[in-house]
Chains A and B, each alone.
Chain A
């Protein structure tokens, strides 16, 4: 049977067909849907959201050493977090098979960096596969399991946004049931003590040699002979773009098994074409090695290193063809930046913080990162997950050390707190910085599309589970001043911030209200009740002061004609924030 699938759906299908039984991941664009789709194979695969990527990979390591087939998936920066176990895992290798998916983001659509994770394969000395479409994404999971088992090595599959989020046709197969490998205790293989690692270090090089041979003969490294005046070496989505541009005018070497680099095959291909182009997104990963092998080629001398490629870029830079485009003036349209949803409780927190002038607001990654943008503009930094609390600690030390009168407020989401905020807060307490940490507990991982986490009380496959209590965690870390409040009650929020800032000790405010888009769980309904309310503006009372507009809620419009505000009835989520800031009580609950 044929099905249209995204690359992510195809990876999930591949995991199913390969007989994988365990999957662990932490959400992150563009990789999130891999685990979401694996979770649907409830009877065959155990799928888990881990608190962070390091934990996810380590769970997979344990599963595979114990003899099972497992897969971990993460976005590109997620592999930074999981890099520590990755390198050790390359040394110990696996027993059952282990597949690691990294989903890179050329173009930085929804990330903080544009890093080329192919270098991780090279640095950790691990085999790497790169699919060019959804069919290959599926096939490669199955092949990765086989390579993993044959060479007892974890295998990396490197995707990019366009592979993850593009749909193409996939031929479905059936699931193979693979028995587990027998587990035998072997400290000379599975404990990375110096004496063991010294031995494993040699094993790693030996394995790499064998894998090089495997890569040179892999069906994923495929030559397609056409006209030999142009030769194209391309990987992943770049192959599709090149094929679109050159058609049969060129011969192709499509690289799918990209580390160890199949240099023998490349040399052979290069020797038979007149001009060689290496077409790859972001860094010249292949090109560097090809040049180092003494093969002449074009690549980044013509193509950009920054951002995604496209057929148009290849056509313009390599072929020198420029198409006529329809005339337009881009500055005629205004930008459409993403905004916090109507009714988002984060808005209230940033609204309150934005009114105070003496603050350094150490932000973090999540929907609430949007609090940095106008009209709220309530954020000074945003680095990486968990950094709000730890960078806030450093900033507080600096302000104190240089006698500057600035208070530090660190703002972190619930999922981010579990991911990597807990150790940072421990540092605040242990090393005594007077910071206030606001934990935006919206009961879900909002940014990546609403995944459960340890605080929601449900697992990735919908089972009830122990609900982690942020309050108790924070207490145990040693914070004595902890207040849990409803951020949509502005007075309560205001007082909590005042009191926290006055306290010379570290303090925590837990702003607990569910994300406006969250599908409420049974537990949520019990705690927060159902709330389907709308607010309306009483036209005759509105004085057009625009105070409510300054909250930045996109359901509010200012009508320049009659100088009044109105509320879009379809968009309003009834949070009441605008009603609370209106100085004349013109915004009221819609009784209809």
Chain B
């Protein structure tokens, strides 16, 4: 089996990072990997910055990823990608949602949303942008943005040999199932 891999999923409270990491870890476990996942919530429910650390391989010890250790950084929001950038390995991949959520100091006009972050990151790492919101809106299901991003991640992490449909079927409520399956597919197809 492979060496331990680390995926860091970051975003803003309420964006659905939790569901994405739940599906991912379930699939990894069922494939036979040892899996650990760590997340910090609490205050972060209220629109704060959130993160889920996922590690898998033959035998995993630490559930947290150290700075400079993530193979892939999946960010649900542009500025959050930069905030967590130094968790990525030099040579790692950053999958970034083409989406901005201004934080409180920006909303109240104390400061502006920072510009040029993506360009700066692209100088040092492989940046893969995903228009997840547009794709989700195209499916008339804005709330499936998280699953679009999960689809993109699965493709980039080369985990498409796992039967994800089967896992999504068991985790996602019936009502949202079809929409989420289409979102997942669209996400996979959005990257190469």
Which A residues contact B (CB, under 8 angstroms)?
Answer: 2, 4, 29-30, 109-110, 133, 161-162, 165-169, 237, 240-241, 243-244, 310-312, 315, 323-328, 330, 332-341, 367, 370, 374-375, 449, 546, 549-550, 552, 554, 556-558, 560, 570
Contact = CB atoms under 8 A, between A and B. Distances in A.
A549 B106 CA distance: 11
A325 B43 contact: no
B38 interface: yes
A546 B86 CA distance: 37
18 contacts: A4-B29, A166-B38, A168-B37, A240-B62, A240-B63, A323-B68, A325-B90, A333-B117, A334-B105, A336-B48, A337-B103, A338-B13, A338-B48, A339-B46, A549-B109, A554-B47, A558-B109, A570-B142
B168 interface: no
B42 A29 contact: yes
Interface string B91-116: 00000000000111111110111100
Contacts of B48: 336-338
A334 B111 contact: yes
A310 B45 contact: no
B25 A333 contact: no
Contacts of B108: 374-375, 549-550, 552, 558
Contact of A557 (B80, B82, B107): B107
B86 A4 contact: no
A550 B109 CA distance: 10
B67 interface: yes
B86 A165 contact: no
Contacts of B82: 328, 332-333
B66 to A, nearest CB: 4
Contacts of B124: 326-327
B190 interface: no
Contacts of B117: 332-333
Contacts of B107: 549, 554, 556-558
Contacts of A327: 124
Contacts of A109: 40, 42-43
B77 to A, nearest CB: 9
Interface in B32-50: 34-49
Contacts of A554: 47, 104, 107
A4 B88 contact: no
A281 to B, nearest CB: 12
Q: Which 10 A-B pairs have the closest CB atoms?
A: A110-B42, A312-B66, A338-B46, A166-B63, A336-B103, A166-B38, A338-B48, A244-B62, A29-B42, A167-B37
A570 B15 CA distance: 12
B131 interface: no
B119 to A, nearest CB: 12
A237 B36 CA distance: 12
A570 B12 CA distance: 15
B46 A241 contact: no
A162 B67 contact: no
B29 A169 contact: yes
Contact of A2 (B12, B29, B45, B86): B29
A560 B109 contact: yes
Given A310-B64, A328-B82, A554-B104, A165 B88 contact: no
B9 interface: no
B102 A557 contact: yes
Contacts of B105: 334-335, 337
Given A337-B103, A375-B108, A328 B85 contact: yes
A325 B29 CA distance: 30
B58 to A, nearest CB: 13
A337 to B, nearest CB: 6
B45 A338 contact: yes
B79 interface: yes
Contact of B12 (A133, A310, A336, A560): A336
B83 interface: yes
A169 B120 CA distance: 39
B38 A339 contact: no
Contacts of A310: 62, 64, 66
A335 B82 CA distance: 12
A480 to B, nearest CB: 36
B41 A165 contact: yes
Contacts of B111: 334
Given A243-B61, A334-B103, A549-B107, A167 B25 contact: yes
Contacts of A326: 68, 85-86, 88, 90, 124-125
A169 B29 CA distance: 8
A333 B81 CA distance: 10
A325 B36 CA distance: 23
A311 B87 CA distance: 13
A11 B90 CA distance: 38
Nearest to A167: B37
Contacts of A240: 61-63
A530 B43 CA distance: 27
Contacts of A341: 46-47
B101 to A, nearest CB: 9
Contacts of B38: 162, 165-167
A370 B13 CA distance: 16
Most buried by B among A2, A237, A243, A244: A244
B63 A370 contact: no
Contacts of A311: 62, 64, 66, 69
B68 A4 contact: no
Nearest to A111: B42
Contact of A167 (B35, B45, B120): B35
A169 B125 CA distance: 32
Contact of A337 (B39, B41, B66, B104): B104
Given A109-B42, A167-B25, A240-B63, 12 more contacts: A2-B29, A4-B35, A4-B37, A166-B37, A166-B64, A168-B63, A310-B64, A311-B62, A311-B64, A312-B68, A326-B68, A557-B107
Contacts of B47: 336, 338-339, 341, 554
B94 to A, nearest CB: 10
Interface string B66-79: 11110000000001
A335 B47 CA distance: 11
A241 B55 CA distance: 13
Most buried by B among A29, A110, A167, A557: A167
A133 B26 CA distance: 17
A370 B48 CA distance: 12
Given A162-B38, A166-B63, A169-B35, A334 B106 contact: yes
A330 B117 CA distance: 11
A332 B80 CA distance: 11
A323 B68 CA distance: 7
A267 B49 CA distance: 45
